[in-house]
Amino acid sequence: MYDGMSRPPLPTPARGRHGLRAAAAALALSAALLASGCGTSQTAAQEKEAAAPSAVGFPVTIDNCGVKTTYDRPPARVVTIHQHPAELLLSLGLKDRMVGTAFPDSAVLPELRKDYAAIPELAKREPSFETILEAEPDLVYGGYGSAFADKEGRSRKAFEDAGIDTHLNREYCGEKRVTMEDTYEEVRTVGRIFGVPDRADQLVADLRARVGRATTAVRSAPKVPVFVYDSGDKSAFTAGGKSLGTELIRMAGGENVFADLDDVFGDVSWEQVVERRPEVIAIYDYAGTGSVEQKKEYLLAQPALKDVPAIRNKRFVVLPLTATLVGVRSAYAVEDLARGIHPESFA
């Protein structure tokens, strides 16, 4: 068991293992050709090589949150930690490169559920370093910063030392306010890493079109004040001005009443919620913070909130947390929010 004080014995690095396998396959192929007089039938090694991801357009160098990685060829064995990276890869048609997922926190998009279920689930939350190594990945793609928690032995340096590349969703680089452009750039970056830039461009076009249809529908509607309720009782944990959620609300014809909070998320007092009089409450739905119904019941039962327009009129919009993050779901969230904020525009 890794105690965080000393590094556990590491298996042969992933690149080394794959290199040894490739060398062994090459030797076997040479022997077979010599013995058969260069026969015409493909060997298993040849078939495996033919099925490997193409290296056309490589090497590719990516600077991700300050970690520079050069990919000599597309990753072939990927572990995703958190749901939104997995959905992005599946949306790019990369199921065959995925050898493990972890930490599902909401229902998977209907069109991706079958493929998602076919990939081994390594853990209900973040898997241990050792568990990830057992899957023999050449890349680990994390959705939240906790994917590479140093105190859990999963630092990006630890993976690098094991010969495994890492990529962190750009939302957790912590540099600036997150926007939909970050979603599109994340898709394009992942497309470059995996050697499928054309697929990435098409996916971006599809996401833009989905967002465009929703924003067009509410273009002439007045802005509606929206409060995001993530969780909390003594105070309210809400989305701040640097969050992607704030931009999704704006695109959907609303205005985050805590857009002036200079952070991605933060705590605000219930008195502040009352003062800002939101007309719609967007509830973030994810495991570990109570069900949507429990959250609604809590808000409706608070005497201090009874005169808040959203509470008085019971106007709630529910969003899976994964839909408010940099990933393919954010485009769907714009439409869901727009329908909840301006239902008259979709009648």
Summarize pLDDT for 116-152 with one digit per residue, the tens. 999 999 999 999 999 999 999 999 999 999 999 999 9
Residue 303 has pLDDT above 80, yes or no: yes
* Mean pLDDT score, 280-299: 93
User: For tokens 């007045």, what's the residue?
Assistant: 222
Q: Among residues 140, 133, 166, which one has the least CA distance to residue 2?
A: 133
Residue 170, token pair as written in the block: 């750009």
Residue 44 vs residue 322, higher pLDDT: 322
* Mean pLDDT score, 20-34: 38
User: pLDDT band at residue 52, thresholds of 50, 70 and 90?
Assistant: low
The C-alpha angle with vertex 291 and arms to 287 and 295, in degrees rounded to 5, equals: 120
* Mean pLDDT score, 31-54: 46
* Mean pLDDT score, 270-278: 98
Among the ranges given (45-54, 232-241, 332-341), the one the predictor scored with the smallest mean pLDDT: 45-54
Q: What is the mean pLDDT of the chain?
A: 87
Dihedral angle over CA of 284, 338, 184, 109, nearest 10: 60
Count other Cβ atoms within 10 Å, centred on residue 63.
9
What pLDDT does 347 receive? Answer: 81
User: pLDDT band at residue 174, thresholds of 50, 70 and 90?
Assistant: confident
Residue 36 vs residue 313, higher pLDDT: 313
pTM for the whole thing? 0.82
Domains 14-27+54-175 and 220-346 share a fold: yes
The domain spans of the chain are 14-27+54-175, 220-346
* Mean pLDDT score, 189-202: 98
Are the CB atoms for 123 and 151 separated by under 8 Å? no
**Angle (deg, nearest 10), helices 197-217 and 244-251:** 50
What pLDDT does 11 receive? Answer: 32
Are the CB atoms for 268 and 258 separated by under 8 Å? yes
Residue 26: partners with Cβ closer than 8 Å, 6 or more residues away: 45
List, as one string, the DSSP characters of 22-59: HHHHHHHHHHHHHHHTS-SSPPHHHHHHHHSPP-TT--
Quote the distance between the C-alpha of residue 114 and its chain's center: 18
What pLDDT does 16 receive? Answer: 39
Dihedral angle over CA of 65, 67, 72, 77, nearest 10: -70
User: pLDDT band at residue 106, thresholds of 50, 70 and 90?
Assistant: confident
**Superfamily (CATH) of domain 14-27+54-175:** Nitrogenase molybdenum iron protein domain (3.40.50.1980)
In DSSP terms, 271 is beta-bridged to none
Are the CB atoms for 236 and 163 separated by under 8 Å? no
* Mean pLDDT score, 196-204: 98
* Alpha-carbon gap, residue 262 to 149, rounded angstroms: 24
Residue 345 has pLDDT above 70, yes or no: yes
Are the CB atoms for 62 and 189 separated by under 8 Å? yes
Out of 3.40.50.720, 3.40.190.10, 3.90.79.10, 3.40.50.1980, the CATH code matching 220-346 is 3.40.50.1980
Residue 27 has pLDDT above 80, yes or no: no
- Structural element, H or E, at residue 64: strand 60-64
Q: For the chain, what percent of residues have pLDDT higher than 90?
A: 78
